[in-house]
């Protein structure tokens, strides 16, 4: 039997009387490879920090039986302070003063793996990484010999590295066997079974309601028959017996109807599966474009300070297409989007272009409005459609009444994305929009992109996201564009 590395028993974590996690029992064994999934704020990082001893349970106990390594989510740049040997391995210039997010991530992963631990706890390692960096992570962890617990919004990484999914929902942890794709298949099966159970519930409830109504109608008829006129009753033989018989029969039917109603009340109610309605962001007449290629370049050069990023590049970006810009960190992807957003004189951009731009930055709102008021005041869509868009991006129920000033960073990013797709634009530029979204928000963004009638140019290192939404992929390599 495999050795137990971690045990959680009767664990509860509460914050300001709100229950964050409630776990009866969970165990991690020697060679488990576990991916933790759940919506932003569900408690994924809290669970990992609990395992790592960075937070303590309000109730219950966590037992750690092995030496473990812990990788925490990174924020912002870091100064160089690593073993010079690592710099060579990671191809980081030794004269660098500060590390980029991607370089910092790769350095910390390399440090984590320098000394062998029997378990690794890793939180969002791919957030700042390009494809080369993601490949580095996969190569390092693919054959890791020990227990691996991983949080990642990159579905391809989860598919590659884990064999069990822990889903956190409303403080509870549900365990699914398999990688992320297999987990999604199981969730779909659950939805289908729930829908079948709901249809069976509705059918049985309807049958019992009809049966109860039929019994009551018969009871009323019998009771009416028992209330004959005195003259009619006296004319009948055995009138006393017949009156009693009808009265008894009516009461029996009423009792039967009541019994059926009791059965209805005891039926276990099943909720219908909520299907998200199709989201189509229609272009208004004011934003219509007819240029086949609204953005063009002819022998375009791109440089920042003295560094040349693109040299003599020509391209045509077609109308209405979803175009992915890929390339290694520092190749010029974000700089190119910035030049397009500012309508660089060396680019040929349609005069009718109305550009919406999502940047890699922390969004913060200072307006004194609720979320719903905010989007209603800035969009021509009806409230039902706005609610559907916000719901898909996880603004549900009382969330719509939240004041903008109180939004977390993740909520502000999700709202900014909603606002772009609802706005009066015909070209959207999205710079790493998936970086700080959970998997569910990424899937919502994919739905938004599929339903957008305008042109979208986006930068991403999430290969599954690219595969799901891109019509065309342009890769920056050695200062040129390569079409994939």
Q: Where does a domain end: 216, 237, 266?
A: 266
373 vs 286: which has the higher pLDDT? 373
Cβ–Cβ < 8 Å for 30, 68? no
- Burial class of 339 by CB neighbour count within 10 A (0 to 12, 13 to 18, 19+): buried
Reference 393, options 366, 373, 413, 367; nearest CA is: 413
Cβ–Cβ < 8 Å for 332, 310? yes
Considering just the CA atoms, what is the radius of gyration of the chain in Å? 31
* pLDDT, tens only, 176-215: 999 999 999 998 898 888 788 877 877 877 887 777 777 6
Instruction: Write phi, then psi, for 174 (nearest 5 degrees).
Output: -105, 135
Please tell me the number of Cα atoms within 13 Å of 107 on its side-chain side.
24
Residues 256 and 364 in one domain: no
228 vs 272: which has the higher pLDDT? 272
Domain count across the chain? 3
Q: Is residue 115 part of a domain?
A: yes
Quickly list H helices, 71-179: 84-90, 101-114, 131-142, 155-161
User: Could you tell me how many residues make up the chain?
Assistant: 484
* pLDDT, tens only, 86-102: 444 445 544 444 566 66
Residues 170 and 213 in one domain: no
CA 382 to chain centre: 24
351 vs 103: which has the higher pLDDT? 351
Q: Is residue 272 part of a domain?
A: no
The edge-to-edge listing of strands for the beta sheet with 59-64 is 18-29, 4-15, 59-64
Residues 383 and 445 in one domain: yes
CB atoms within 10 A of CB 43: 24
Residues 300 and 239 in one domain: no
Residues 218 and 340 in one domain: no
Helix, strand or coil, per DSSP, at residue 69: strand
Residues contacting 152, CB < 8 A, separation 6+: 35, 124, 125, 126, 158
* Mean pLDDT of the residues in the chain: 83
The reported pLDDT for the residue numbered 307 is 84
The reported pLDDT for the residue numbered 230 is 45
Q: Is residue 278 part of a domain?
A: no
Please report the beta strands in 3-100, taking only residues with DSSP state E, as ranges in sequence order: 4-15, 18-29, 33-37, 59-64, 68-71, 78-79, 98-99
| CATH (domain of 306) | 3.40.50.300
Residues 60 and 126 in one domain: yes
| Most confident of the ranges 129-133, 311-315, 328-332, 389-393 | 389-393
Q: Is residue 376 part of a domain?
A: yes
Residues 248 and 290 in one domain: no
Residues 325 and 240 in one domain: no
Percent of the chain residues topping a pLDDT of 90: 39
pLDDT > 70? residue 235: no
Residues 19 and 143 in one domain: yes
- Write out the two tokens for 233: 């009753």
Q: Where does a domain end: 237, 266, 295?
A: 266
pLDDT > 50? residue 85: no
Mean pLDDT across 46-56: 93
CA distance 425 to 144: 47
Q: Is residue 280 part of a domain?
A: no
CA 179 to chain centre: 17
Locus of tokens 């996969």: 138
Mean pLDDT across 17-23: 87
Residues of the domain holding 157:
4-178
The reported pLDDT for the residue numbered 409 is 83
Cβ–Cβ < 8 Å for 82, 113? no
Residues 63 and 125 in one domain: yes
- Write out the two tokens for 107: 């350095």
The predicted model scores a pTM of: 0.78
401 vs 306: which has the higher pLDDT? 401
């Amino acid at each position: 039997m495999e050795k137990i590395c971690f045990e959680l028993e009767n664990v509860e974590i509460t914050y300001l009387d709100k229950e964050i996690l409630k776990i009866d029992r969970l165990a991690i064994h020697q060679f488990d490879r576990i991916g933790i999934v759940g919506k932003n704020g569900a408690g994924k990082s809290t669970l990992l920090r609990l395992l790592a001893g960075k937070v303590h349970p309000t109730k219950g106990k966590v037992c750690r039986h092995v030496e473990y390594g812990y990788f925490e989510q990174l924020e912002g740049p870091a100064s160089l302070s690593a073993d010079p040997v690592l710099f060579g391995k990671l191809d980081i210039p030794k004269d660098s003063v500060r590390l980029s997010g991607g370089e910092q991530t790769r350095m910390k992963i390399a440090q984590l793996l320098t000394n062998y631990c029997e378990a690794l706890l890793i939180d969002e390692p791919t957030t700042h990484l390009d494809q080369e960096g993601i490949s580095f992570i996969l190569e390092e962890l693919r054959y890791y010999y020990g227990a691996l617990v991983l949080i990642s919004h990159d579905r391809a990484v989860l598919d590659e590295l884990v064999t069990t999914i822990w889903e956190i929902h409303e403080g509870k942890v549900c365990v699914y066997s398999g990688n992320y794709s297999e987990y999604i298949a199981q969730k779909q099966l659950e939805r289908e079974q729930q829908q079948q159970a709901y249809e069976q519930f509705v059918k049985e409830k309807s049958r019992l309601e009809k049966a109860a109504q039929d019994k009551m109608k018969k009871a009323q008829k019998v009771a009416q028959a028992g209330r004959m006129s005195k003259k009619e009753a006296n004319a009948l033989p055995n009138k006393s017996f017949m009156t009693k018989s009808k009265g008894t029969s009516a009461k029996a039917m009423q009792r039967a109807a009541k019994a059926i109603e009791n059965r209805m009340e005891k039926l276990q109610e099943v909720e219908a599966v909520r299907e998200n309605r199709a989201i189509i962001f229609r272009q208004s007449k004011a934003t219509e474009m007819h240029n086949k290629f609204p953005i063009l370049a002819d022998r375009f050069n791109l440089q920042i300070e003295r560094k040349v990023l693109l040299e003599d590049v020509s391209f045509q970006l077609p109308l209405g297409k979803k175009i992915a810009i890929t390339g290694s960190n520092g190749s010029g992807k974000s700089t190119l989007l910035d030049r397009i957003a500012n309508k660089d004189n060396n680019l040929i951009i349609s005069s009718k272009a109305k550009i919406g731009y999502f940047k890699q930055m922390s969004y913060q709102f200072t307006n004194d409005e609720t979320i719903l008021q905010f989007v209603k005041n800035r969009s021509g869509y009806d409230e039902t459609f706005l609610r559907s868009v916000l719901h898909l991006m996880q603004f549900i129920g009382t969330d719509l009444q939240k004041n903008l000033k109180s939004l977390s960073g993740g909520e502000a990013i999700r709202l900014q994305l909603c606002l772009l797709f609802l706005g009066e634009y015909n070209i959207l530029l999205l710079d790493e929009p998936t970086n700080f979204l959970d998997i569910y928000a990424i899937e919502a963004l994919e739905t938004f992109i599929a339903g957008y009638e305008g042109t979208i140019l986006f930068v991403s290192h999430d290969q599954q996201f690219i595969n799901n939404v891109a019509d065309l992929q342009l890769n920056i390599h050695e200062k040129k564009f390569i079409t994939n």
